Structure 1
Amino acid sequence: MLTIHAADEIRHDWDGAALKDGAVVVEGDRITAVGARADLLARFPGARVRNWPGVLGPARVHEHALPDAPTPRERVHAVLKSGATAVLDRHTDSPELRAAAARNDVLVLPHAPRPHLTETTRADLAVFDEAGECIATVCAGRLVHRRR
C-alpha cells in the first residue's frame, strides 16, 4: 500500500536543512519519493495519508545498550518507541534478543551509519516533537510506534 507520511518539517538527515511542509512516500518497505507535501499529494492521489505534527526524518540507530525490560521483545519495542529502527551488533548479545530484533525488522548493524531519507532506501522514519520526544516510528514501511 502506498502511504504518504507528511509533517510540519522533513529532514533528509538530522544535520541538514529542513523542508517545511514536506512528505515521504512509502510503498512496501521502500521510500518512493521525498519532497513538498502538496507536490506529493498531487503526484500520488490514491495514497493513504498520515499527517504528523513535528519533524520527520530518518529513524535513528540505537547506539547504546538496549533498555532494560522483562523480555527481549519488550527491549526491542522500547528501542522502536525511541525512534530507532537499528541497533548495534555489540548490544545484541543473546540469540533471543537477535530473534526479537529480526521478528520486528530491526536492523542489527556492525556500526552506526549516518541515516538519511532518499528514494529506494528502506523506509525507516521517525517523527519527533519540539521537545525531542518520538511521536511515531516507521520500520521497513510499517508503523510500529505511535504516541497516543
Structure 2
Amino acid sequence: MRTVHAADLLRLTLDDPPRAGLAVVVAGDRVEAVVPTAELPGAHPGVRVRRWAGTLGPALVHDGPLPPAPTPRERVHALFRLGVAAVLDEHVTDPALRSAANRNEVAVLAATRPPALVPGGRADLAVFDPDGSCRATVVAGRLVHRRA
C-alpha cells in the first residue's frame, strides 16, 4: 500500500534546511518519491495521505545503549518515541534485545551513517516538533509511534 507523508516542513537529511511544500511517497518499505504537495491530488489519487504538524525528515540512528525499560520490546519502543529507526550493532548484543529489534524492523548497522530520505531507500521517517520532541516515527514504511 502506498502512503504519502506530508508535513509543514520537510528535510531530506538532518543537515538539510527544512523546506515547505514537499511530501514523501512511501510504497511498502521504500521511499518511492519526494514530491511537491500541490501535485498530490492529481499524481497520486486514492493514496492514503498522512498530514503532520512539524518537520518531517529521516528517522535517527541511535549511537548509544538503548534506553532502559523492563523488557527488550519496551526498550525498542522507547527508541521509536525518540524518532529512531536504526541502532548500532554493538548496542544490541543481547539476543533478546536483538530479536526485539529485528521483529520491529529496526535497522542494525555495523557503523553509523547519516540518515537521509532518498527514492529507493528504506522508508525510515520521523516528524519532530520545534522543541525537538518526536511526534511520529515510521520504520520501514510502518507507522510505529504517534504521539497524540
AA aligned to 1:44 is H
The answer to whether the aligner puts 1:77 opposite 2:77 as a matched pair is yes
| Identical positions, percent | 56
Structure 1 ranges of 4+ moved more than 6 A: none
Aligned residues: 148
Partner of 1:13: 13
Superimposed CA distance per residue, residues 60-114 of structure 1 (whole angstroms, 9 cap, x where no aligned partner): 0011110000000000000111100011111112000000000000011111101
Q: Helix, strand or coil for the counterpart of 2:20?
A: strand
> Normalised by the size of structure 2, how large is the TM-score?
0.97
Structure 1 residue 22, shift from structure 2 partner: 1.6
How large is the RMSD of aligned CA atoms in angstroms? 0.9
Q: Helix, strand or coil for the counterpart of 1:4?
A: strand
> Gapped runs of 5+ residues in structure 1?
none
Paired with 1:115 and 1:41, the residues of 2 have a C-alpha distance of 28
Q: Helix, strand or coil for the counterpart of 1:78?
A: helix
> Gapped runs of 5+ residues in structure 2?
none
> Normalised by the size of structure 1, how large is the TM-score?
0.97
Matches within 5 A, 1:115-126: 115-126=115-126
Superimposed CA distance per residue, residues 11-32 of structure 1 (whole angstroms, 9 cap, x where no aligned partner): 0001012220321000100111
